[in-house]
């Protein structure tokens, strides 16, 4: 008996997953997604409209009014769709229990952290992994339940985090891991022979806090390597790290790199000062411990030598750290 498979999501990663599953002869019967307005209101980065793609591939599409999936239209869709299995990619919300109960075999998605589940549940684990300077990421295909990232684990895959990775490349790696894990386990999931490992008792769960666009303000008091990781952690498809030019115009940095540790005789300059501008507009910023090269940026005013980058009138949000100096905290702990 052929199982009816669905996908939840509204991002380019969603389309990438569908394309690759179809190439592996995994039929997709339905996609649950959002429209552009709802996605924008929810702050979703890297949104993609899937209507034309689904029509081209004869996939039924349901455009939900919200992540709550509690409208009359939502209920009617899930009743008529009679889905057996759903995979989640690019759907940044808990799937409601009423929907979970309507999917015969279950809803499955990906989550991970440097240490693997149940460590690092919650928000933006790959962004946080870059900020923390982690060197690996263990991601898991797990079955959804009513708690955040707490369902039993089907299978896991670990990949490296290099000094060149950005949040975009980590999403690429995680998407490849999801395809690999689904391909490796789909038949066992359908047959009911997959071994689902409970997260209970593995280790104490920890949770990463939510990151908002305003949390992408650069802290120039940090060392060069931390500033570089931070910029890579919120690079496109996110909005990019930002700062203010001479307490005035907002300057958004999309791409930068560690330039040098020697200083080129800029050692006495204050952190955040533009110490050189090249003919093509790229510029150097003095940091604690070295110099940063800003390669791609947006600003209404071109930075000049001697300009200062800083917080302007904005206030840096200081996230609480755990005993190891990282940002995932035990359940129920305030993040600030």
Percent of the chain topping pLDDT 90: 95
Residue 49 has pLDDT above 90, yes or no: yes
Q: pLDDT grade, residue 257 (50/70/90)?
A: very high
Q: Which DSSP state fits 334?
A: -
CA dist., res. 168 & res. 112, Å (int): 16
Q: pLDDT grade, residue 2 (50/70/90)?
A: confident
Residue 336 has pLDDT above 80, yes or no: no
Mean pLDDT, rounded, for 40-54: 94
Contact 30, 57 (CB under 8 A): no
Q: If we measure between CA atoms, which residue out of 318, 317, 319, 297 comes closest to residue 307?
A: 297
**How confident is the model at residue 205, as a pLDDT?**
97
Contact 315, 195 (CB under 8 A): no
Write out pLDDT tens, residues 298-322: 999 999 999 999 999 999 999 999 9
- Please list the residues that pair with 241 across neighbouring strands: 253
Cα-Cα-Cα-Cα dihedral sign, residues 177, 183, 187, 193: negative
Q: What b/e readout covers 285-301, taking b as 16+ CB neighbours within 10 angstroms? A: bbbeebbbbbeebebee
118 preceded by a cis bond (ω within 30 of 0): yes
CA dist., res. 219 & res. 212, Å (int): 15
* Location of structure tokens 């690092």: 120
Residue 285 has pLDDT above 60, yes or no: yes
Write out pLDDT tens, residues 199-244: 998 999 999 999 999 999 999 999 999 999 999 999 999 999 999 9
Residue 144 has pLDDT above 80, yes or no: yes
For the chain, which domains are there? 5-208 (3.40.50.170), 213-310 (3.10.25.10)
Cα-Cα-Cα-Cα dihedral sign, residues 17, 18, 24, 27: positive
Angle between helices 167-191 and 125-132 (to 10 degrees): 130
**How confident is the model at residue 263, as a pLDDT?**
74
**How many residues comprise the chain?**
336
Write out pLDDT tens, residues 265-274: 999 999 999 9
Helix ranges (H only) for the chain are: 12-23, 36-41, 51-56, 72-81, 97-102, 125-132, 167-191, 224-233
* Location of structure tokens 């110099």: 291
Q: pLDDT grade, residue 8 (50/70/90)?
A: very high
Residue 1 has pLDDT above 60, yes or no: no
CA dist., res. 155 & res. 194, Å (int): 9
Average predicted confidence (pLDDT) for the chain: 96
Cα-Cα-Cα-Cα dihedral sign, residues 83, 112, 333, 232: negative
Write out pLDDT tens, residues 85-101: 999 999 989 999 999 99
CA dist., res. 184 & res. 152, Å (int): 17
Burial (CB < 10 A; 0-12, 13-18, 19+), residue 42, is middle
Instruction: Tell me the two tokens of residue 330.
Output: 């035990």
Mapped onto helix, strand or coil, the DSSP state of residue 81 is helix
**How confident is the model at residue 43, as a pLDDT?**
87
Q: pLDDT grade, residue 59 (50/70/90)?
A: very high
Mean pLDDT, rounded, for 122-146: 97
**How confident is the model at residue 262, as a pLDDT?**
82
Residue 334 has pLDDT above 90, yes or no: no
Q: If we measure between CA atoms, which residue out of 116, 94, 110 comes closest to residue 177?
A: 110
Write out pLDDT tens, residues 72-84: 999 999 999 999 9
């Amino acid at each position: 008996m052929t199982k009816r498979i669905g996908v939840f999501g509204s991002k380019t990663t969603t389309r990438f997953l569908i394309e690759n599953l179809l190439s592996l002869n995994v039929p997709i019967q339905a996609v649950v997604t959002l429209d552009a307005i709802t996605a924008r209101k929810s702050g979703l980065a890297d949104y993609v409209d899937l209507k034309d793609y689904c029509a081209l591939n004869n996939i039924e599409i349901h455009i939900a009014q919200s992540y709550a999936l509690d409208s009359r239209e939502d209920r009617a869709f899930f009743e008529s769709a009679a889905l057996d299995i759903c995979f989640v990619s690019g759907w940044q919300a808990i799937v409601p229990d009423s929907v979970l109960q309507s999917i015969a075999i279950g809803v499955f998605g990906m989550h991970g952290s440097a240490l693997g589940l149940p460590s690092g549940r919650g928000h933006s684990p790959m962004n946080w992994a870059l900020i923390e300077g982690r060197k690996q990421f263990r991601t898991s295909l797990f079955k959804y339940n009513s708690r955040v990232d707490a369902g039993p684990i089907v299978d896991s895959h670990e990949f490296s985090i290099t000094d060149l990775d950005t949040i975009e490349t980590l999403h690429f790696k995680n998407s490849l891991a999801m395809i690999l894990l689904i391909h490796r386990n789909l038949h066992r999931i359908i047959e009911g022979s997959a071994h689902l490992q409970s997260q209970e008792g593995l280790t104490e769960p920890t949770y990463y806090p939510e990151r908002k666009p305003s949390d992408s303000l650069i802290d120039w008091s940090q060392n060069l390597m931390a500033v570089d990781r931070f910029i890579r952690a919120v690079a496109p498809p996110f909005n990019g790290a930002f700062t203010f030019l001479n307490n005035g115009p907002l300057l958004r940095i999309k791409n930068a790199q560690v330039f040098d540790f020697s200083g080129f005789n800029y050692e006495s300059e204050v952190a955040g000062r533009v110490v050189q501008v090249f003919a093509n507009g790229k510029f150097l910023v003095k940091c604690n411990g070295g110099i940063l090269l800003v390669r791609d940026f947006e600003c209404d005013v071109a930075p000049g030598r001697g300009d200062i980058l800083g917080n302007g009138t904005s206030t840096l949000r200081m996230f609480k750290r755990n005993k190891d100096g990282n940002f995932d905290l035990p359940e129920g702990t305030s993040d600030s």
